[in-house]
Amino acid sequence: MNSAGAGLSTHVLDTARGRPAAGISIVLHAVEEGGQRRLLNTTVTNADGRTDTPLIERGTLTRGTYELTFHVAAYFEDLTGVAQPPFLDVVTLRFTVADTAAHYHIPLLVSPWSYSTYRGS
């Protein structure tokens, strides 16, 4: 997927194995005032660790707070050499969109024991 056409995109990399993480379920919510969450999208990463379509298309991204939840336990349960049950179950990233004209790319770099993220391009 070419992320240049997207308002919000993501991908997941397995840093312990140095490869994309395929088959990870992702849930996207908008976080409303008062902390209520509104479901926007559910998807699964493909063989490249990306989603087949943007999470939110350019032009429909609005200012506000969002929450991306990555269900990583099932991915790590299928790998040999990882302690069971996996240390990480779900990874939730809450972030704020201020500039709706910009592209927001939120990658997840994950291992069986840790994760990190950043705002990509």
Q: Higher confidence at residue 86 or residue 41?
A: 41
pLDDT at res. 59: 86
pLDDT at res. 2: 43
Question: Backbone dihedral region of 18: left (phi > 0), alpha (psi from -120 to 50 degrees) or beta?
Answer: left
Query: Which residues pair with residue 13 across a beta bridge?
Result: 20, 109
Lowest mean pLDDT, pick from 5-9, 37-41, 56-60: 5-9
pLDDT at res. 58: 85
Pick the CATH number of 3-111 from 1.10.287.40, 1.10.3720.10, 2.60.40.180, 3.40.30.10: 2.60.40.180
Return the structure tokens found at 55: 């999470």
pLDDT at res. 6: 62
pLDDT at res. 112: 92
CB atoms within 10 A of CB 84: 9
Stated pTM of the model: 0.91
Helix, strand, coil distribution of the chain in percent, nearest 5: 10, 45, 45
Phi, psi of 33 (to 5 degrees): -60, 145
**Residue type for position 46:** N
pLDDT confidence of 14, banded at 50, 70, 90? very high
In whole angstroms, give the CA distance from residue 106 to residue 95. Answer: 9
